[in-house]
Each structure stands twice: as structure tokens, then as C-alpha cells.
Amino acid sequence: MISLTSKLPVLQVGEYQLHGYETSWILASIEGGLKSIGIQDIKIAKDIYEGVLHYLENNCPWKPLKIEDLYKKLEKLFSKIGFPHVKGKIPRISPPINVSVIAQLEKLDCQIELALFNTLQSEMETLLAYGVREVVFDDVIEAVNIIIPSKKWSKDCDLLHDEIIALQEKYNAPVRRVNDFRPKCERG
């Protein structure tokens, strides 16, 4: 049996299925939609947000909800409450997504830096199209160890690591460095 800790449905963003996500991005989308038609009232935005959360937690079917479908429902909601002119003006924002660099590397037939960068760049552009504003690359150190197999961390490892992080920063995704240290790689 699978047990999810959140009452929110699984959210499908491209090929990623998210659960246990925070929801501030929904409020930001609602506020953006209202601001696009000249409404600055935070209380209205918060009321709509609370209604959307109630729907997601209590009435949404228990199957993955595509982010595109959520925005269609949001546009219908705006029409029902008297704001039909918001249609098409709601900023598409998605929750933060972690991208495994190793998973991207495994999609390739080879483990060459250039191929990895092309794959990561393509993935970032796809996620940006879905409104993802924060992407965190996971497994960067492990991916570097696969591409540059060595017993000790080297300047080449540093360079590749920093280039991967620079690609993430290029797309204005904040960098979260949790336990990001330069290890001495011991291989058998």
C-alpha cells in the first residue's frame, strides 16, 4: 500500500510527478492573474487560493493532475466568479522540481560532457515551458564521478561540477547546495 503524507493530488509537470509539494506558486499565479486585470486586492487572491486548495485536497480525483489541466480549471473558476477576462493572463508557475543529473546521464548512450549538457539544457527549456521557476540539480557530484572516473577529486572534477551548476544558474534557478562538498572519491 502506498501512503502519501499530503492531501494534495499528485501533480504532473511534464514527465515529473510531484507529491508533497508546497503551494505558494498557486497563490502567485492567482495574484498575477488578478494583477493583469488591475486588481491588487490580496484578500480576493487569498480567498480564491483557499478555494483552490480546498478543491485539490477534498474534491480532486486521486489521479495525477496535469499542470495544464489545473490552469484550465483555474481559468474556469475565474470565469465563474466574474473575471472571464483573466483567461490567458494567468502566469504559468509550477512548483520547484529536482532534476537528477544521473537520470539525465542514464538517458544517453554515452557519458560525454557535451551530450550531458545538451540533455540538461533541453530539460531546463522543457521545464521552463511548464512554468517551473526553480530547478535543483541533484546528484551532481555523483554524475561528475561517472563522467570523470578517478580515485580522487581533481581540478577537472571541480570544473565540470561548476559548469553543471553554472548551467542551472543560467536559467535563473536558485542553487541549493545541501551537503555540497568536494569529496575525495575512493573507487575500488
pLDDT (tens digit, 9 = 90+) per residue, 68-116? 999 999 999 999 999 999 989 999 999 989 999 999 998 887 778 888 9
pTM: 0.77
**Which amino acid would we find at residue 29?**
S
Residue 185 has a CB neighbour count (10 Å cut-off) of: 17
φ, ψ of residue 94 to 5 degrees: the values are: -120, 160
φ, ψ of residue 11 to 5 degrees: the values are: -105, 125
* Residue given cell 522543457 in the structure block: 126
Closest Cα to residue 138, out of 163, 164, 116, 169? 164
Cell of 114: 557535451
Residue 2 is predicted with a pLDDT of: 53
Cross-strand pairs, 132: 94
Burial category of 187 from C-beta neighbours within 10 Å (exposed 0-12, middle 13-18, buried 19 and up): exposed
pLDDT digit string, tens, across residues 4-34: 567 899 999 999 999 989 999 999 999 999 9
Q: How far is residue 51's CA from residue 49's CA, in Å, rounded to a whole number?
A: 5
